[in-house]
Structure 1
C-alpha cells in the first residue's frame, strides 16, 4: 500500500519538475529578442533516497535544484575589452574625417594651393615690379592665404569645443550607467542572500557593463553573493578605487567634467609656465553648483588635465586626493577617443600656428630688412601697427593678416634693394620669391623661435647697411610648403589608421558577439525540441499517476468485493 503512495509522490514531483522546465523554456522563448538576455536552464537532481533494510537505497524521484543562466564570462571580458577599443577609434575616425574636411587637402581652395599662389605671385611681381596690378594680385593672394589660415584655425578650435561638449555629455551618460549598476548590484545581493539566483537581474547588470565598456575600459572582479567590484583599467587604479559599493559604507567615485582649468604662473623671463604649481579648477557638484578647488600639479598632470577636462570626485563632491588618480585619462572607449581627438585638434592648431609664424617671420625679415617693422607685410591683427615692440611675436594662424596699408596701396610693397632704387628694381622681390625654397626650423616656431628676434638670429643675416638680408642654412630645416604637406600626410595616415582599426575591430567584435550568442542566446529550434521533450516527460509522469490511481482503485475498492 505504502509503495503505491510512494510511486504517486515520485510521479507528482516529476510532474512539478517538468512543469518548471516548461516554464523556463517558455521564459526563454518569450525573451528570445530581449537585449542582453541569457538562455536559462533548470538544474535537476535526484531526491534523497529511501533506505530499505536488506535492499539498500531506493530512489524517491527528482527535485529542482536551481535555475541557472548560460553565460561565458571570458567572452564577456573579451567583448567588453574590444568594445572599448572600438569606441576609441570610432570617435577618432569621426573627428579625424571632420579635420580632414576642414583642412580640405588637396583641393584648389586649400592652404597648399594658396601657399603656392602666394609664392608664385612674388615671382610675377619680380617679373614686373613696376606694375600695380601684379602687386595688387600679390596682396590679395596673401590676404586669401591669411583668411584661410584664420578660418581653419577657427574650425579646428570648434572641433576642440565640440569634443569638450561631447566629453561632458558622455560623462553624464557614464555616471548614469554607474548608478544603475550600483543599484542593481545591491538588489542582486539582496536576492542572493535570500537563497535565490537573480538571473534576470544579472543579465541586466551585464548589459549595463557592456554599455559602460563603450565609454571606457574597466576592470571587474566577481565577489561573494553575486556582487562585483568595478574600477578603471590602468596601473594607477586598483580594486580599492571603487565605482560600485560592496557595502553601504563604501566610498565610491564618479566622473565630473572640469569646465575651467586655471593657468600656472609664468616665468617673467621667458613667459613659460613654471612647475610645480597650484592651479584652480572649476566643476559642478551633484547639485549643479560650481565648485572651485586649488590643486597642486606638475607639468604632465597639467597637460593631462587640459586635454581630459575630467576628474574623479567622491560622493561629497571633493576631488580624489591623489592627483594622478583624480585626473581621468582612459586609453580606450569613447571618452578616451574624445580626449585623444581634443589633443589631436590642439596639435594641428599648433602646426598651423607654426606655419603662420614661419610665413610671417620669413617674409617680414626680408621685406622689412630684419627689425625695421615699418610697413610690415604681415602683422598681428590683434595688435596692428600700434605696438612696435611686439616684433610680431604674437602672430598665430588666428591673428595673421596682411597690413591694411599694403592692401590699400600695393605700391608700398618693397621690391627693390632700397626705397630709392627705382620701381623696376626686383632684387628684394626675387629674394622674397626664393623663400619658397628656404629651409627653416619650423618645428620650433612655437618653442625656440616663438620670438621674432630669436628667429632672426638663427635664420637671417642682417646687412650692416640697407640691403637684402641673407638667409642662413638650417640643418634639418623644412620648406614651408613641404612642412605643411607633411602635416597633411600625417593626418591622412592617422585617418586611414582609424578607419582600418574600426573595420577590423568591428569584424572582431561581430565574431565575438556571434560566439556569445551561440552560447547564451536563445535558439528557437532548440527550445522547441526541449519543449517537446519536457511535454512528453510530463505526459509520461501523468500516465504514471493515472496507472497508480487505477492500482489503488483495485486495492481499495476490490476489498469491498
Structure 2
C-alpha cells in the first residue's frame, strides 16, 4: 500500500473511532431514558486487495440494539399477572375502607341495638327506654344503608377504572399501529429508537390486558387478546369499547360489537373486572344476608308480643322484599317511628311484662343469619374482605418480584452500565489517539520524501 493509501486508511479509522465515541456518548446520554436499549457499533476489517497487502483498515458495519427477545416476551407474559393483582389490591382496598374500623362499624350498631332492648326489658313502660330502642334501630338501619351505599360506590369507582383502562388500551393500540407503520416503511438501521418505543408500548399494553404478541420479520408486531381478538395487525388498530349495560349501567367491554368481558381474565383490566363483577357483589350479598336475618328475626319475635296498649305487635322493621337489596332498604316500620308505645315489649297483656323485650335482647346470641349470630355473620364479611385484600397484596408482591427479576435479566443484556461505557469510551479514545499519531507519522514521512525530491 502506498503512503497516500495509508493516509486514506488511517482517515477512515479515525472516522470509525469517532463513530464509536458517538455511540458511547448516545448510550450515556440515554442512561435514564425509559425503554432505551444499549447500542453497540459493529466494526469490520476491510479485506486487502491482494495477498501482499496488510489490509485496507476498518469500517462501520452498523449499529444494533442489545435486545433479547426471550426476556421481552417473558415480560409481556408476566406483566398482566402482576398488574391484575395490583388492580385487585387497590380496588379491594376501597371495599375494605368502606367497612370501617372493627368495633366502630355495624358491629357497634348491632351491640347498641340489642343493648337498647335489654334496657327496655328492665323498664318496659319507660318512654325513654322505648325512644332509645327506636333511636338505636334507626342508627342500625342507617348503618346498613350507608354500608350498602359505600360498597356500591366502590363498585362504581371500579367501573370508572374499567373505562379508563379501555381508553388506555385503545390509545396504546393506536400508538403501536403507528409505530408499526413507521418501522415497516423505514430502513432497519433507522428504526432502533422506534423499536424501543414499540417494546415499551407493548409491555404497557400487555400489563393492561393479557395479550399474545407475534413479531414479524420486518420488525412490526401483531397483537391479539388471550382469546384471539385482534388489537393491532400491521398498521391497523382494532379499538375496544366500553358500553354501559343494564341494569347497573356498568361498562361491558366489546370488540367489534361483541361482548368480550368474560374473556378478560388477567391484566389490570381483568383485575378491576373481577373486583367489580364478582368480589364486591359477593360482599353486598353477605351484607344483605345479615340485614335480612336481623330484620326477619326481630319482626318474627316482635309480632308475638303486645304494646303498651295491649295491641298485638306487628313489624318492627319494614319487611324486606327479599335477601337481595335488604341492607340498602332496611328501615324501621313507620308506625313505630312516631309512636314508640307501639313497641311490643310484653309477652302477655299485663302491665310491666317484659317477655318479648328479653327475647329480642337475646337475639344478640341467636343463630339468626344462616346458623350464625348477627355479629358472627358481620365478622365473617369483614374477614372475607380482609382476606381477599391480603391475598391480592401477597400475590402482587410475588408477581412483582418475578417481573423485577426478569427486568434485571433483561437489563444485564440491554441496560446501560456507566462503568462499561466508560471503559468503551477509553478504548475508542485511545484508538483515536493512536490513529491520529499514525496519521501524523505518515504525513511527516510524505513531507520528508517530497523535500528530498527538491
By how many angstroms is 1:396 displaced?
A: 1.5
By how many angstroms is 1:511 displaced?
A: 4.1
By how many angstroms is 1:532 displaced?
A: 2.0
Cα pair 1:373 1:391 within 8 Å, conserved: no
Give the aligned partner of residue 311 of structure 1: 254
- With over 3 angstroms needed to count, the CA separation of the structure-2 counterparts of 1:339 and 1:132, relative to structure 1, is same
Matched, 1:206 2:204: no
Choose between structure 1 and 2 for higher RCO, CA contacts under 8 A separated by at least 6 residues: 2
By how many angstroms is 1:186 displaced?
A: 1.2
Aligned partners of 1:148 and 1:159: how far apart in 2?
16
Matches within 5 A, 1:280-299: none
Aligned partners of 1:65 and 1:95: how far apart in 2?
52
Give the aligned partner of residue 232 of structure 2: 244
Matched, 1:359 2:294: yes
Higher mean alpha-carbon deviation, 433-442 vs 13-22, is at 433-442
TM-score, structure 1 as length reference: 0.73
Matched, 1:146 2:141: yes
By how many angstroms is 1:426 displaced?
A: 2.6
TM-score, structure 2 as length reference: 0.89
1:536 to 430, 434, 439: 430
Matched, 1:8 2:3: no
Matches within 5 A, 1:262-281: none
- With over 3 angstroms needed to count, the CA separation of the structure-2 counterparts of 1:543 and 1:124, relative to structure 1, is same
Give the aligned partner of residue 164 of structure 1: 159
By how many angstroms is 1:22 displaced?
A: 1.3
Cα pair 2:16 2:59 within 8 Å, conserved: yes
Aligned partners of 2:38 and 2:324: how far apart in 1?
65
- With over 3 angstroms needed to count, the CA separation of the structure-2 counterparts of 1:369 and 1:91, relative to structure 1, is same
Aligned partners of 1:167 and 1:546: how far apart in 2?
68
Unmatched runs of 5 consecutive residues or more in structure 2: 306-310
Cα pair 2:82 2:400 within 8 Å, conserved: yes
SS of aligned partner of 2:395:
helix
Q: Deviations for 1:1-34, whole angstroms, at most 9, x for unmatched residues?
A: x543443333233222212111111211221222
Matches within 5 A, 1:386-405: 396-405=326-335
Aligned partners of 1:395 and 1:28: how far apart in 2?
61
Cα pair 1:8 1:548 within 8 Å, conserved: yes
- With over 3 angstroms needed to count, the CA separation of the structure-2 counterparts of 1:162 and 1:510, relative to structure 1, is same
Aligned partners of 1:96 and 1:391: how far apart in 2?
29
2:223 to 230, 253, 264: 230
Aligned partners of 1:158 and 1:373: how far apart in 2?
41
Q: Deviations for 1:182-203, whole angstroms, at most 9, x for unmatched residues?
A: 1011111112xx3525111111
Whose helix proportion is higher, 1 or 2?
2
By how many angstroms is 1:70 displaced?
A: 1.6
Matches within 5 A, 1:297-376: 309-313=252-256, 319-320=257-258, 323=259, 326-327=260-261, 329-343=263-277, 344-369=279-304, 375-376=314-315
By how many angstroms is 1:489 displaced?
A: 0.9
By how many angstroms is 1:347 displaced?
A: 1.7
Q: Deviations for 1:185-229, whole angstroms, at most 9, x for unmatched residues?
A: 1111112xx352511111111222232233222221211111112
Let me know the Cα RMSD of the aligned residues: 2.9
2:85 to 79, 85, 89: 89
SS of aligned partner of 2:111:
helix
Unmatched runs of 5 consecutive residues or more in structure 1: 264-281, 283-305, 314-318, 381-389, 443-476
Give the aligned partner of residue 184 of structure 2: 189
Give the aligned partner of residue 447 of structure 1: none
Aligned partners of 1:96 and 1:138: how far apart in 2?
35
Give the aligned partner of residue 255 of structure 1: 240
SS of aligned partner of 2:185:
helix
- With over 3 angstroms needed to count, the CA separation of the structure-2 counterparts of 1:77 and 1:392, relative to structure 1, is closer
Cα pair 1:216 1:333 within 8 Å, conserved: yes
Give the aligned partner of residue 111 of structure 1: 106
Pairs aligned (count): 448
Q: Deviations for 1:228-267, whole angstroms, at most 9, x for unmatched residues?
A: 121223xx32xxx332222x5x6x422211122369xxxx
Aligned partners of 2:100 and 2:89: how far apart in 1?
16
Aligned partners of 2:101 and 2:95: how far apart in 1?
10
